[in-house]
């Protein structure tokens, strides 16, 4: 029996995902932990996505299908999934990934038993477009220190890796205090940074998350900074954007939002100062874009310069 307000809410944002969507939904509905709702928010798909979603919504009362009449961008779609949710815990789901049957059961157990943990997620296995296992992926995000500054330091020290942990199970009341997914590239890293300041992040030791790598993933299909920004926010029209500075500013904003003791806040600022120093070339390079026309840089490189990663 599904309660009016389930313990877990799953949010699945999708746009033209018919190729892998059916398998993704089936893996979620096959979870051994059954007290959940699945909110699918369609960003105005033009392929067979709508038909697939409506078929599952008609069959299973846990599935709620919401459709937009146009593509509002990934950030709005992801955030709207959470805004429509009612569960104590929340998880974003990608339309092309697969979850093992015990995914929710194992992550719910961690959050139920450990109130200091704000996010629990399992180890990741990379699969290809045909579902074949390619390799295990080391996220290196198991942050159990009691000090917020130490958790943030460990998170930032891992480098610009894939943020599989953002697809983990999160406490809804904690996530609600954050800005959610920002309308800019790599905003998921900023979100993880704030979550790390608000509590511990645990990795379940079993490989229960199967992340699909294929030519149409958001990173592969949107290789340049301009394309990636438009994926997050279609209204982006080439305005001045300094990615490394934006990430730094958002980390500082997070540190000011989170209630911290004065000494711990100073430690957080020291961590961010070290992060900025290690990326001083990228920060300076961003500033160059303010005085040197992008067209000149593209001409010298013979291509679009692409995004600057932290």
Which is more confident, 234 or 130? 130
- For the stretch 7-45, pLDDT in tens is 999 999 999 999 999 999 999 999 999 999 999 999 999
CA 203 to centroid of chain Cα atoms? 16
pLDDT at 140: 84
CA distances from 128 to 19, 97, 99, 213 (A): 13, 10, 14, 5
Backbone angles phi, psi at 260, to 5 degrees: -130, 150
Nearest residue to 186 via CA among 165, 163, 213, 209: 163
- For the stretch 84-115, pLDDT in tens is 999 999 999 999 999 999 999 999 999 999 99
Q: Is the pLDDT of residue 130 over 90?
A: yes
Q: Is the pLDDT of residue 226 over 70?
A: no
Total-model pTM:
0.89
**Residues 191, 195, 201, 206, CA torsion sign:** negative
Could you tell me which residues are beta bridge partners of residue 12? 40
């Amino acid at each position: 029996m599904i309660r009016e307000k389930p313990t877990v809410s799953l949010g699945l944002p999708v746009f033209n995902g018919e190729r892998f969507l059916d398998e993704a939904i089936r893996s979620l509905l096959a979870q051994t932990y059954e007290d959940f709702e699945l909110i699918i928010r369609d960003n105005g798909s033009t392929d067979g996505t709508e038909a697939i979603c409506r078929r599952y919504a008609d069959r299973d009362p846990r599935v709620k299908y919401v459709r937009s009449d146009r593509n509002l961008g990934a950030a709005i779609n992801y955030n709207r999934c959470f805004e429509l949710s009612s569960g104590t815990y929340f998880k974003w789901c990608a339309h092309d990934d697969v979850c093992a049957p015990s995914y929710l059961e194992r992550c719910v157990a961690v959050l139920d038993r450990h109130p200091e943990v704000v996010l629990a997620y399992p180890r990741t296995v990379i699969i290809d477009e045909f579902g074949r296992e390619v390799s295990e992926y080391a996220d290196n995000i198991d942050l159990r220190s009691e000090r917020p500054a130490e958790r943030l330091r460990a998170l930032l020290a891992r480098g610009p890796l894939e943020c599989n942990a953002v697809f983990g199970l999160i406490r809804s009341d904690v996530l609600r205090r954050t800005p959610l997914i920002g309308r800019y590239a790599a905003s998921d890293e900023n979100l993880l940074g704030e979550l790390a300041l608000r509590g511990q992040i645990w990795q379940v030791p079993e490989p229960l998350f199967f992340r699909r790598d294929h030519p149409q993933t958001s990173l592969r299909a949107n290789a340049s900074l301009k394309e990636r920004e438009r994926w997050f926010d279609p209204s982006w029209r080439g305005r001045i954007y300094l990615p490394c500075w934006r990430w730094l500013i958002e980390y500082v904003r997070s540190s000011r939002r989170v209630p911290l003791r004065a000494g711990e806040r100073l430690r957080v600022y020291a961590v961010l100062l070290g992060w900025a120093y290690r990326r001083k070339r990228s920060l300076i390079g961003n500033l160059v874009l303010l005085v040197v026309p992008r067209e000149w840089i593209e001409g010298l490189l013979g291509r679009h310069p692409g995004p600057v990663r932290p």
